[in-house]
Chain A
Amino acid sequence: MTRKVVVTGMNIISSLGLDLQTNWEHLVQGKSGVGYIRGFDASNLQTKIAAEVPDSFEEYAKSFIRKRQAGQMTRVTRMCVVCAMEAVKAAHIDFGQLDRSRCAVIIGVVNTGNSSVEKGTKPQNTIFKSMTNSMPAWIALEYGLTGPSFAVNTACASSAYSLGLGFDLIRSGQADLVITGGADSIINPEEMAGFNALYALSVRNDPPEKASCPFSKNRDGFVVGEGAGIVILESEDSARARGAEILAEVAGYALTGEAYNIMAPMTDGAGMAITMEKALKNAGLTTDDIDYINAHGTSTELNDRFETMAIKTVFGPRAHHIPVSSTKSMTGHTIGAAGAIESAITVMSIRESIVPPTVNYDDPDPELDLDYVPNQARKHTIRAAMSNSFGFGGHNASLVFRKFQP
Protein backbone atom coordinates (compact mmCIF):
# COMPACT_ATOMS: atom_id res chain seq x y z
CA MET A 1 0.00 0.00 0.00
CA THR A 2 1.27 3.48 -0.86
CA ARG A 3 2.41 5.55 2.09
CA LYS A 4 0.20 8.59 2.52
CA VAL A 5 2.00 11.91 2.86
CA VAL A 6 0.37 14.45 5.14
CA VAL A 7 0.95 18.02 6.24
CA THR A 8 1.49 18.41 9.98
CA GLY A 9 2.91 21.91 10.26
CA MET A 10 3.06 25.16 8.32
CA ASN A 11 4.13 28.75 8.66
CA ILE A 12 4.39 31.89 6.58
CA ILE A 13 6.46 35.05 6.94
CA SER A 14 5.50 37.65 4.37
CA SER A 15 4.61 41.29 3.93
CA LEU A 16 1.24 40.37 5.45
CA GLY A 17 2.68 39.23 8.75
CA LEU A 18 5.20 37.20 10.67
CA ASP A 19 3.08 34.12 11.36
CA LEU A 20 0.57 31.88 9.67
CA GLN A 21 -2.54 33.14 11.43
CA THR A 22 -1.82 36.82 10.77
CA ASN A 23 -1.11 36.04 7.13
CA TRP A 24 -4.31 34.07 6.79
CA GLU A 25 -6.44 36.77 8.42
CA HIS A 26 -5.01 39.41 6.10
CA LEU A 27 -5.46 37.20 3.05
CA VAL A 28 -9.10 36.62 3.92
CA GLN A 29 -9.54 40.36 4.48
CA GLY A 30 -8.05 41.01 1.04
CA LYS A 31 -5.27 43.17 2.47
CA SER A 32 -2.31 44.05 0.27
CA GLY A 33 1.25 43.93 1.64
CA VAL A 34 2.62 46.14 -1.13
CA GLY A 35 4.06 49.57 -0.37
CA TYR A 36 6.85 51.96 -1.31
CA ILE A 37 10.23 50.31 -0.83
CA ARG A 38 11.67 50.98 2.65
CA GLY A 39 14.77 48.78 2.54
CA PHE A 40 16.82 51.00 0.22
CA ASP A 41 16.55 54.16 -1.84
CA ALA A 42 14.56 53.11 -4.90
CA SER A 43 14.24 56.58 -6.41
CA ASN A 44 16.42 55.66 -9.37
CA LEU A 45 14.47 52.54 -10.23
CA GLN A 46 11.49 52.37 -12.54
CA THR A 47 9.74 50.23 -9.94
CA LYS A 48 9.64 51.83 -6.51
CA ILE A 49 7.25 49.41 -4.79
CA ALA A 50 7.45 45.95 -3.24
CA ALA A 51 5.81 43.73 -0.65
CA GLU A 52 8.40 43.87 2.13
CA VAL A 53 8.31 41.89 5.35
CA PRO A 54 7.42 44.14 8.32
CA ASP A 55 10.35 45.99 9.91
CA SER A 56 9.54 44.33 13.23
CA PHE A 57 10.92 41.06 11.85
CA GLU A 58 14.49 41.67 13.05
CA GLU A 59 13.45 42.22 16.64
CA TYR A 60 11.16 39.17 16.43
CA ALA A 61 14.01 37.03 15.02
CA LYS A 62 16.22 37.79 18.01
CA SER A 63 14.10 35.53 20.19
CA PHE A 64 14.84 32.62 17.83
CA ILE A 65 18.41 33.05 16.58
CA ARG A 66 21.49 33.85 18.63
CA LYS A 67 23.48 36.91 17.67
CA ARG A 68 26.53 34.95 16.55
CA GLN A 69 24.52 32.79 14.12
CA ALA A 70 22.36 35.72 13.03
CA GLY A 71 25.51 37.47 11.83
CA GLN A 72 26.32 34.48 9.64
CA MET A 73 22.90 34.68 7.96
CA THR A 74 21.26 37.19 5.67
CA ARG A 75 17.93 38.69 6.65
CA VAL A 76 16.24 36.25 4.24
CA THR A 77 18.03 33.26 5.73
CA ARG A 78 16.86 34.41 9.16
CA MET A 79 13.31 34.52 7.78
CA CYS A 80 13.67 30.94 6.60
CA VAL A 81 15.05 29.67 9.90
CA VAL A 82 12.52 31.53 12.06
CA CYS A 83 9.69 30.36 9.81
CA ALA A 84 10.85 26.75 10.12
CA MET A 85 11.24 26.96 13.90
CA GLU A 86 7.70 28.23 14.32
CA ALA A 87 6.38 25.53 11.96
CA VAL A 88 8.15 22.83 13.98
CA LYS A 89 6.67 24.28 17.15
CA ALA A 90 3.20 24.39 15.63
CA ALA A 91 3.56 20.75 14.58
CA HIS A 92 4.56 19.82 18.17
CA ILE A 93 7.56 17.86 16.93
CA ASP A 94 9.99 16.45 19.46
CA PHE A 95 12.89 15.29 17.31
CA GLY A 96 14.25 13.38 20.28
CA GLN A 97 11.37 10.98 19.78
CA LEU A 98 12.03 10.53 16.05
CA ASP A 99 14.81 8.89 14.08
CA ARG A 100 16.71 12.02 13.05
CA SER A 101 18.43 10.17 10.21
CA ARG A 102 14.98 9.81 8.63
CA CYS A 103 14.19 13.51 8.89
CA ALA A 104 15.11 15.66 5.89
CA VAL A 105 15.19 19.34 4.95
CA ILE A 106 14.58 20.63 1.43
CA ILE A 107 14.43 24.37 0.86
CA GLY A 108 13.62 26.17 -2.38
CA VAL A 109 15.70 29.30 -2.73
CA VAL A 110 16.99 31.40 -5.58
CA ASN A 111 18.51 34.32 -3.68
CA THR A 112 19.73 34.50 -0.12
CA GLY A 113 19.43 38.26 -0.34
CA ASN A 114 23.17 38.78 0.01
CA SER A 115 23.08 41.97 -2.04
CA SER A 116 24.00 45.60 -1.43
CA VAL A 117 21.12 45.90 1.04
CA GLU A 118 22.89 43.48 3.38
CA LYS A 119 25.13 45.64 5.55
CA GLY A 120 27.98 44.99 7.95
CA THR A 121 29.09 41.57 6.76
CA LYS A 122 32.32 40.31 8.29
CA PRO A 123 34.59 38.77 5.62
CA GLN A 124 34.35 35.43 7.44
CA ASN A 125 30.58 35.44 6.91
CA THR A 126 30.44 36.37 3.23
CA ILE A 127 30.29 32.79 1.99
CA PHE A 128 27.78 31.62 4.59
CA LYS A 129 25.51 34.47 3.61
CA SER A 130 25.73 33.62 -0.08
CA MET A 131 25.28 29.87 0.12
CA THR A 132 21.70 29.01 -0.83
CA ASN A 133 22.21 25.64 0.86
CA SER A 134 22.85 27.44 4.15
CA MET A 135 19.08 27.59 4.68
CA PRO A 136 18.52 23.81 4.86
CA ALA A 137 21.88 23.48 6.65
CA TRP A 138 20.93 25.88 9.45
CA ILE A 139 17.59 24.13 9.94
CA ALA A 140 19.25 20.70 10.02
CA LEU A 141 21.81 22.06 12.52
CA GLU A 142 19.09 23.49 14.73
CA TYR A 143 17.45 20.10 15.20
CA GLY A 144 20.35 17.71 14.53
CA LEU A 145 18.64 16.22 11.48
CA THR A 146 20.89 13.88 9.52
CA GLY A 147 18.63 12.85 6.68
CA PRO A 148 19.04 14.46 3.25
CA SER A 149 19.41 18.24 3.45
CA PHE A 150 19.62 20.37 0.34
CA ALA A 151 18.44 23.44 -1.56
CA VAL A 152 16.58 23.40 -4.85
CA ASN A 153 16.52 26.24 -7.34
CA THR A 154 13.95 26.32 -10.09
CA ALA A 155 13.29 30.06 -10.02
CA CYS A 156 9.70 30.90 -9.08
CA ALA A 157 8.85 27.20 -8.73
CA SER A 158 11.70 26.43 -6.29
CA SER A 159 9.75 25.81 -3.13
CA ALA A 160 6.97 23.98 -4.97
CA TYR A 161 9.73 21.66 -6.14
CA SER A 162 10.86 21.26 -2.55
CA LEU A 163 7.41 19.97 -1.59
CA GLY A 164 7.34 17.60 -4.55
CA LEU A 165 10.76 16.19 -3.73
CA GLY A 166 9.89 15.92 -0.05
CA PHE A 167 6.70 14.08 -0.96
CA ASP A 168 8.74 11.52 -2.91
CA LEU A 169 11.28 11.02 -0.12
CA ILE A 170 8.43 10.06 2.17
CA ARG A 171 6.37 8.06 -0.30
CA SER A 172 9.41 6.04 -1.35
CA GLY A 173 10.15 5.22 2.29
CA GLN A 174 13.43 7.13 2.48
CA ALA A 175 12.22 9.62 5.07
CA ASP A 176 9.49 9.89 7.69
CA LEU A 177 9.44 13.67 7.92
CA VAL A 178 10.63 16.43 5.61
CA ILE A 179 10.79 20.13 6.40
CA THR A 180 10.05 21.68 3.01
CA GLY A 181 9.58 25.26 1.93
CA GLY A 182 11.47 28.25 0.69
CA ALA A 183 12.64 31.77 1.38
CA ASP A 184 13.63 34.53 -0.96
CA SER A 185 14.00 38.22 -1.62
CA ILE A 186 15.02 40.10 -4.73
CA ILE A 187 14.16 43.43 -3.14
CA ASN A 188 17.50 45.04 -3.87
CA PRO A 189 18.53 47.60 -6.50
CA GLU A 190 20.57 45.21 -8.65
CA GLU A 191 17.97 42.52 -9.17
CA MET A 192 15.03 44.86 -9.45
CA ALA A 193 16.85 46.83 -12.14
CA GLY A 194 17.49 43.52 -13.90
CA PHE A 195 13.83 42.54 -13.81
CA ASN A 196 12.87 46.05 -14.90
CA ALA A 197 15.14 45.63 -17.91
CA LEU A 198 13.14 42.51 -18.81
CA TYR A 199 9.86 44.46 -18.49
CA ALA A 200 8.78 41.85 -15.95
CA LEU A 201 7.84 44.18 -13.07
CA SER A 202 4.88 46.47 -12.64
CA VAL A 203 5.86 50.13 -12.90
CA ARG A 204 2.52 51.46 -11.68
CA ASN A 205 3.95 52.81 -8.47
CA ASP A 206 0.97 54.78 -7.35
CA PRO A 207 -0.88 53.63 -5.37
CA PRO A 208 1.40 50.69 -4.50
CA GLU A 209 -1.29 48.39 -3.16
CA LYS A 210 -3.17 48.43 -6.47
CA ALA A 211 -0.24 47.38 -8.68
CA SER A 212 -0.51 43.61 -8.36
CA CYS A 213 -3.72 42.86 -10.23
CA PRO A 214 -3.58 39.32 -11.63
CA PHE A 215 -5.99 38.50 -14.46
CA SER A 216 -7.04 42.16 -14.80
CA LYS A 217 -6.88 43.94 -18.12
CA ASN A 218 -4.56 46.63 -16.72
CA ARG A 219 -1.95 44.22 -15.34
CA ASP A 220 1.55 45.33 -16.27
CA GLY A 221 3.95 42.96 -14.54
CA PHE A 222 4.56 41.33 -11.20
CA VAL A 223 5.19 43.10 -7.92
CA VAL A 224 8.16 41.82 -5.99
CA GLY A 225 7.50 40.28 -2.61
CA GLU A 226 9.71 38.57 -0.07
CA GLY A 227 9.39 36.11 2.77
CA ALA A 228 9.42 32.48 3.71
CA GLY A 229 7.03 29.57 3.71
CA ILE A 230 7.50 26.23 5.45
CA VAL A 231 5.37 23.12 5.08
CA ILE A 232 6.19 20.06 7.17
CA LEU A 233 5.44 16.84 5.36
CA GLU A 234 5.23 13.58 7.21
CA SER A 235 4.22 10.00 6.57
CA GLU A 236 0.77 9.24 7.90
CA ASP A 237 2.30 6.54 10.10
CA SER A 238 4.78 8.96 11.66
CA ALA A 239 2.10 11.59 12.23
CA ARG A 240 -0.22 9.05 13.85
CA ALA A 241 2.50 7.52 15.98
CA ARG A 242 3.18 10.85 17.64
CA GLY A 243 -0.46 11.91 17.74
CA ALA A 244 0.05 14.87 15.43
CA GLU A 245 -2.80 16.90 14.03
CA ILE A 246 -3.04 16.19 10.31
CA LEU A 247 -3.81 19.40 8.44
CA ALA A 248 -4.24 17.93 4.95
CA GLU A 249 -2.96 15.23 2.66
CA VAL A 250 -0.59 15.82 -0.24
CA ALA A 251 -2.36 13.83 -2.92
CA GLY A 252 0.28 14.20 -5.60
CA TYR A 253 2.23 16.55 -7.79
CA ALA A 254 4.00 16.98 -11.10
CA LEU A 255 7.20 18.70 -12.17
CA THR A 256 7.90 19.45 -15.81
CA GLY A 257 10.40 21.39 -17.86
CA GLU A 258 9.33 23.26 -20.97
CA ALA A 259 12.64 23.46 -22.85
CA TYR A 260 11.05 26.36 -24.71
CA ASN A 261 12.34 29.75 -23.61
CA ILE A 262 14.52 31.08 -20.79
CA MET A 263 11.81 33.56 -19.79
CA ALA A 264 8.47 33.14 -21.56
CA PRO A 265 6.07 30.29 -20.91
CA MET A 266 5.17 27.97 -23.77
CA THR A 267 2.58 29.43 -26.13
CA ASP A 268 -1.03 28.97 -25.06
CA GLY A 269 0.09 27.55 -21.72
CA ALA A 270 0.75 24.14 -23.22
CA GLY A 271 3.47 23.31 -20.68
CA MET A 272 1.32 24.53 -17.78
CA ALA A 273 -1.55 22.32 -18.94
CA ILE A 274 0.68 19.25 -19.17
CA THR A 275 1.90 19.92 -15.63
CA MET A 276 -1.61 20.18 -14.21
CA GLU A 277 -2.73 17.03 -16.05
CA LYS A 278 0.24 15.05 -14.78
CA ALA A 279 -0.35 16.29 -11.24
CA LEU A 280 -3.96 15.14 -11.30
CA LYS A 281 -2.90 11.75 -12.62
CA ASN A 282 -0.16 11.45 -10.00
CA ALA A 283 -2.73 12.30 -7.31
CA GLY A 284 -5.18 9.73 -8.66
CA LEU A 285 -7.82 12.45 -9.00
CA THR A 286 -9.96 13.77 -11.84
CA THR A 287 -10.87 17.31 -12.79
CA ASP A 288 -14.17 16.83 -10.95
CA ASP A 289 -12.36 16.44 -7.65
CA ILE A 290 -10.67 19.86 -7.69
CA ASP A 291 -12.64 22.61 -5.94
CA TYR A 292 -10.02 25.39 -5.86
CA ILE A 293 -6.92 26.42 -7.78
CA ASN A 294 -4.35 28.71 -6.17
CA ALA A 295 -2.94 30.11 -9.38
CA HIS A 296 0.61 31.14 -10.13
CA GLY A 297 -1.17 34.36 -11.22
CA THR A 298 1.76 36.75 -11.40
CA SER A 299 -0.06 39.75 -12.88
CA THR A 300 2.06 39.56 -16.03
CA GLU A 301 0.50 39.65 -19.46
CA LEU A 302 1.69 36.21 -20.53
CA ASN A 303 1.39 34.17 -17.33
CA ASP A 304 -2.16 35.12 -16.57
CA ARG A 305 -3.31 34.64 -20.16
CA PHE A 306 -1.59 31.29 -20.58
CA GLU A 307 -2.48 29.96 -17.14
CA THR A 308 -6.12 30.73 -17.86
CA MET A 309 -5.88 28.92 -21.18
CA ALA A 310 -4.15 25.97 -19.56
CA ILE A 311 -6.82 25.65 -16.86
CA LYS A 312 -9.50 25.63 -19.58
CA THR A 313 -7.56 23.01 -21.55
CA VAL A 314 -7.27 20.72 -18.54
CA PHE A 315 -10.60 21.26 -16.82
CA GLY A 316 -12.84 21.82 -19.85
CA PRO A 317 -16.28 23.27 -19.05
CA ARG A 318 -15.66 22.72 -15.34
CA ALA A 319 -12.93 25.37 -15.46
CA HIS A 320 -15.63 28.04 -15.16
CA HIS A 321 -16.99 26.48 -11.99
CA ILE A 322 -13.73 26.25 -10.07
CA PRO A 323 -12.64 29.31 -8.06
CA VAL A 324 -9.16 30.36 -9.23
CA SER A 325 -7.40 33.00 -7.16
CA SER A 326 -3.97 34.59 -7.10
CA THR A 327 -2.82 35.46 -3.62
CA LYS A 328 0.18 37.20 -5.21
CA SER A 329 -2.26 40.09 -5.55
CA MET A 330 -1.65 40.55 -1.81
CA THR A 331 1.75 39.01 -1.01
CA GLY A 332 3.50 40.09 -4.19
CA HIS A 333 5.63 37.52 -5.94
CA THR A 334 7.98 35.98 -3.39
CA ILE A 335 9.95 34.08 -6.08
CA GLY A 336 11.61 31.07 -4.46
CA ALA A 337 9.28 31.21 -1.47
CA ALA A 338 6.06 31.49 -3.48
CA GLY A 339 5.33 27.78 -3.97
CA ALA A 340 5.56 27.03 -0.26
CA ILE A 341 3.70 30.14 0.87
CA GLU A 342 0.91 29.35 -1.57
CA SER A 343 0.88 25.67 -0.55
CA ALA A 344 0.31 26.75 3.04
CA ILE A 345 -2.45 29.09 1.87
CA THR A 346 -4.03 26.29 -0.15
CA VAL A 347 -4.02 23.97 2.87
CA MET A 348 -5.59 26.74 4.99
CA SER A 349 -8.27 27.17 2.31
CA ILE A 350 -9.13 23.47 2.49
CA ARG A 351 -9.22 23.50 6.29
CA GLU A 352 -11.19 26.72 6.69
CA SER A 353 -13.45 26.21 3.62
CA ILE A 354 -12.55 29.74 2.55
CA VAL A 355 -11.08 30.81 -0.77
CA PRO A 356 -8.88 33.91 -0.48
CA PRO A 357 -9.56 36.50 -3.15
CA THR A 358 -7.71 37.97 -6.10
CA VAL A 359 -7.64 41.60 -5.03
CA ASN A 360 -7.44 44.58 -7.38
CA TYR A 361 -9.68 42.77 -9.84
CA ASP A 362 -11.38 45.99 -10.93
CA ASP A 363 -10.85 45.93 -14.66
CA PRO A 364 -11.66 42.46 -16.03
CA ASP A 365 -9.83 41.30 -19.12
CA PRO A 366 -12.59 40.07 -21.45
CA GLU A 367 -10.30 37.34 -22.74
CA LEU A 368 -9.71 35.94 -19.26
CA ASP A 369 -13.06 34.62 -18.15
CA LEU A 370 -12.61 32.28 -15.20
CA ASP A 371 -13.95 32.83 -11.70
CA TYR A 372 -11.00 34.64 -10.17
CA VAL A 373 -12.74 35.22 -6.81
CA PRO A 374 -12.68 38.99 -7.29
CA ASN A 375 -11.73 41.16 -4.32
CA GLN A 376 -13.56 39.25 -1.60
CA ALA A 377 -12.90 35.95 0.10
CA ARG A 378 -15.57 33.33 -0.29
CA LYS A 379 -16.91 30.44 1.76
CA HIS A 380 -16.46 27.34 -0.31
CA THR A 381 -16.16 23.67 0.56
CA ILE A 382 -12.95 22.27 -0.85
CA ARG A 383 -12.32 18.54 -1.15
CA ALA A 384 -9.10 18.95 -3.09
CA ALA A 385 -7.14 21.91 -4.41
CA MET A 386 -4.26 22.60 -6.74
CA SER A 387 -1.38 25.06 -6.33
CA ASN A 388 0.53 26.10 -9.44
CA SER A 389 4.08 27.45 -9.73
CA PHE A 390 5.78 28.26 -13.01
CA GLY A 391 9.35 29.55 -13.11
CA PHE A 392 11.64 31.42 -15.49
CA GLY A 393 13.52 28.79 -17.46
CA GLY A 394 10.38 26.71 -17.95
CA HIS A 395 10.33 25.00 -14.55
CA ASN A 396 6.75 24.04 -13.77
CA ALA A 397 5.16 22.48 -10.71
CA SER A 398 1.59 21.67 -9.75
CA LEU A 399 0.83 20.35 -6.28
CA VAL A 400 -2.44 18.72 -5.27
CA PHE A 401 -3.67 18.78 -1.67
CA ARG A 402 -6.83 17.25 -0.30
CA LYS A 403 -8.78 17.06 2.90
CA PHE A 404 -7.34 14.26 4.95
CA GLN A 405 -9.57 11.25 5.28
CA PRO A 406 -8.30 8.54 7.61
Chain B
Amino acid sequence: MAVITNDIIKEVKEVICDFFAEECEVDRSTITDNTRIIKDLGGDSLMFLELIEIFKKKYNLDVELKTIGKYTVKHPVETIGQLIETQMKIIEFENKLIDLEK
Protein backbone atom coordinates (compact mmCIF):
# COMPACT_ATOMS: atom_id res chain seq x y z
CA MET B 1 0.00 0.00 0.00
CA ALA B 2 1.60 3.21 -1.14
CA VAL B 3 0.61 6.75 -0.35
CA ILE B 4 -0.16 8.49 -3.60
CA THR B 5 1.50 11.88 -3.80
CA ASN B 6 1.17 14.52 -6.46
CA ASP B 7 4.67 13.67 -7.60
CA ILE B 8 3.68 10.04 -8.19
CA ILE B 9 0.58 11.06 -10.12
CA LYS B 10 2.66 13.38 -12.28
CA GLU B 11 5.28 10.72 -12.85
CA VAL B 12 2.77 8.02 -13.82
CA LYS B 13 1.10 10.35 -16.29
CA GLU B 14 4.42 11.24 -17.82
CA VAL B 15 5.57 7.64 -18.16
CA ILE B 16 2.27 6.59 -19.76
CA CYS B 17 2.10 9.49 -22.19
CA ASP B 18 5.77 9.19 -23.14
CA PHE B 19 5.34 5.46 -23.67
CA PHE B 20 2.38 5.88 -26.05
CA ALA B 21 3.99 8.78 -27.88
CA GLU B 22 7.10 6.70 -28.48
CA GLU B 23 5.44 3.37 -29.30
CA CYS B 24 2.62 4.76 -31.43
CA GLU B 25 4.71 7.49 -33.05
CA VAL B 26 2.36 10.33 -32.13
CA ASP B 27 3.05 13.83 -30.89
CA ARG B 28 3.09 13.75 -27.09
CA SER B 29 1.06 16.95 -26.89
CA THR B 30 -1.88 15.37 -28.72
CA ILE B 31 -2.41 12.73 -26.01
CA THR B 32 -5.10 13.69 -23.51
CA ASP B 33 -7.13 11.83 -20.90
CA ASN B 34 -9.84 11.29 -23.53
CA THR B 35 -7.52 9.78 -26.16
CA ARG B 36 -8.67 6.24 -26.99
CA ILE B 37 -5.78 3.79 -26.86
CA ILE B 38 -6.79 1.43 -29.65
CA LYS B 39 -9.01 3.59 -31.85
CA ASP B 40 -7.03 6.84 -31.73
CA LEU B 41 -3.47 5.64 -31.14
CA GLY B 42 -3.47 2.24 -32.86
CA GLY B 43 -2.26 0.69 -29.60
CA ASP B 44 -2.79 -2.85 -28.40
CA SER B 45 -3.53 -4.71 -25.18
CA LEU B 46 0.08 -5.81 -24.80
CA MET B 47 1.03 -2.22 -24.13
CA PHE B 48 -0.95 -2.36 -20.91
CA LEU B 49 1.11 -5.37 -19.82
CA GLU B 50 4.34 -3.62 -20.70
CA LEU B 51 3.35 -0.61 -18.62
CA ILE B 52 2.46 -2.83 -15.66
CA GLU B 53 5.96 -4.31 -15.84
CA ILE B 54 7.49 -0.84 -15.99
CA PHE B 55 5.56 0.32 -12.89
CA LYS B 56 6.16 -2.95 -11.00
CA LYS B 57 9.89 -2.33 -11.32
CA LYS B 58 9.69 1.39 -10.72
CA TYR B 59 7.67 1.18 -7.48
CA ASN B 60 8.66 -2.34 -6.45
CA LEU B 61 5.04 -3.46 -6.55
CA ASP B 62 3.74 -6.75 -5.24
CA VAL B 63 0.85 -7.42 -7.56
CA GLU B 64 -0.20 -10.44 -9.58
CA LEU B 65 -1.43 -10.14 -13.12
CA LYS B 66 -4.55 -12.17 -12.37
CA THR B 67 -5.53 -9.61 -9.72
CA ILE B 68 -5.21 -6.83 -12.24
CA GLY B 69 -7.11 -8.97 -14.75
CA LYS B 70 -10.02 -9.42 -12.37
CA TYR B 71 -10.08 -5.70 -11.64
CA THR B 72 -9.99 -4.61 -15.28
CA VAL B 73 -12.79 -6.98 -16.26
CA LYS B 74 -15.05 -4.81 -14.12
CA HIS B 75 -13.24 -1.56 -14.92
CA PRO B 76 -12.40 -1.71 -18.62
CA VAL B 77 -9.66 0.56 -19.90
CA GLU B 78 -10.35 2.33 -23.16
CA THR B 79 -8.83 5.79 -22.75
CA ILE B 80 -5.54 7.16 -21.49
CA GLY B 81 -7.38 8.72 -18.54
CA GLN B 82 -8.83 5.35 -17.53
CA LEU B 83 -5.43 3.77 -17.88
CA ILE B 84 -3.80 6.34 -15.62
CA GLU B 85 -6.56 5.84 -13.08
CA THR B 86 -6.11 2.04 -13.15
CA GLN B 87 -2.34 2.31 -12.81
CA MET B 88 -2.78 4.60 -9.82
CA LYS B 89 -5.06 2.02 -8.19
CA ILE B 90 -2.51 -0.71 -8.86
CA ILE B 91 0.27 1.35 -7.30
CA GLU B 92 -1.89 2.29 -4.36
CA PHE B 93 -3.38 -1.09 -3.55
CA GLU B 94 -1.11 -3.69 -5.20
CA ASN B 95 -2.56 -7.15 -4.53
CA LYS B 96 -5.19 -5.65 -2.26
CA LEU B 97 -6.76 -4.33 -5.44
CA ILE B 98 -8.91 -7.43 -5.23
CA ASP B 99 -10.41 -6.23 -1.94
CA LEU B 100 -11.85 -3.17 -3.67
CA GLU B 101 -14.25 -5.50 -5.41
CA LYS B 102 -15.56 -7.11 -2.26
Residues of A near any B CB (own CB < 8 A): 66-68, 122, 124
Contact = CB atoms under 8 A, between A and B. Distances in A.
A68 B42 contact: yes
A178 to B, nearest CB: 27
A122 B25 contact: no
A124 B23 CA distance: 14
6 contacts: A66-B42, A67-B24, A67-B25, A68-B42, A124-B46, A124-B49
B79 to A, nearest CB: 18
Nearest to A125: B46
B25 A66 contact: yes
Contacts of B50: 122, 124
Interface centre among A66, A68, A122, A124 (most CB of B within 10 A): A68
Contacts of B43: 68
Interface string B41-76: 011101101100000000000000000000000000
A124 B52 CA distance: 12
A365 B50 CA distance: 59
A68 B23 contact: yes
B49 A68 contact: no
Closest 4 CB pairs of A and B: A68-B23, A67-B25, A124-B46, A68-B24
Interface residues of B, number: 10
A96 B23 CA distance: 28
A199 B42 CA distance: 47
Given A66-B24, A66-B42, A67-B25, 14 more contacts: A66-B25, A67-B23, A67-B24, A68-B23, A68-B24, A68-B25, A68-B42, A68-B43, A68-B44, A68-B47, A122-B50, A124-B46, A124-B49, A124-B50
Contacts of A124: 46, 49-50
Contacts of B42: 66, 68
Nearest to B44: A68
Interface of B: 23-25, 42-44, 46-47, 49-50
Q: Is the interface of A mostly helix, strand, loop or mixed?
A: helix
Nearest to A67: B25
A66 B42 CA distance: 9
Nearest to A122: B50
B32 to A, nearest CB: 20
Nearest to A128: B46
B85 to A, nearest CB: 23
Contacts of B47: 68
B40 to A, nearest CB: 14
Contacts of B23: 67-68
A66 B26 CA distance: 11
Contacts of A67: 23-25
A215 B47 CA distance: 52
Nearest to A124: B46
Contacts of A66: 24-25, 42
Nearest to B23: A68
A124 B53 CA distance: 11
A282 B43 CA distance: 47
A124 B43 CA distance: 15
A188 to B, nearest CB: 26
A67 B44 CA distance: 13
A124 B47 CA distance: 10
Contacts of A68: 23-25, 42-44, 47
A122 B54 CA distance: 13
Nearest to B49: A124
A122 B13 CA distance: 23
Nearest to A68: B23
B21 to A, nearest CB: 11
Nearest to B22: A67
A67 B23 CA distance: 7
A122 B25 CA distance: 18
B16 to A, nearest CB: 15
Nearest to B50: A124
A122 B50 CA distance: 10
Nearest to A72: B46
A239 B46 CA distance: 39
A68 B42 CA distance: 9
A43 to B, nearest CB: 36
Nearest to A71: B23
A61 to B, nearest CB: 14
A66 B23 CA distance: 9
Contacts of A122: 50
A72 to B, nearest CB: 8
A93 to B, nearest CB: 22
A122 B46 CA distance: 12
A67 B50 CA distance: 16
Contacts of B24: 66-68
